[in-house]
Amino acid sequence: MNPLPMNASQTVCQWWSQALAGVLAWQWKIMEAQYRIGLKVVEAAMPIPGSPGSGSDKPPGQVPQVTDKFQSLEARACEQARKGRALPSEIYEVPYRDRIDWSKFPDWARPCDPELFQECGHEG
């Protein structure tokens, strides 16, 4: 097949394919913009502890007072996991198991399946 010379004008098919590609690219950019806005809204609504924009701009030496029993338990569990020790057994109990963000813990500390015992009668 002979290649087209560089100065040859575009055919109708080439022009239409470029126009269609431009329209599709424009729609993709609009969808990406909506996606980014949605992520910013979610990040503002639910800040991740320890992330740069979470508002915890205190020096490392200052630890905020933990008043909630769950927060103190979670902090203790994080500290134990960081040291490689077993987590407190209370963290696996029903009131706390659903509130824990298990992605912050190593694989060995996570329960085998947190939803395994959901709505079972034996856990009262």
Judge whether residue 119 has pLDDT over 70: no
Residue, of 5 and 91, whose pLDDT is higher? 91
CB proximity list for 100: less than 8 A, separation 6 or greater = 74, 77, 91
State residue 66's pLDDT score: 37
Q: Which amino acid is at 33?
A: A
Percent of the chain, pLDDT > 70? Answer: 65
Tell me what pLDDT residue 9 has. 66
Mean pLDDT (the chain) is 75
Q: So what's the pLDDT on residue 111? A: 75
Strands (E), 37-101: none
Confidence tier at 67 by pLDDT (50, 70, 90): very low
Residue 92 confidence (pLDDT): 81
Nearest to 100 by CA among 111, 108, 86, 84: 111
Neighbours of 100 (CB within 10 A): 19
Q: How is residue 10 annotated by DSSP? A: P
Residue 44 or residue 118, greater confidence? 44
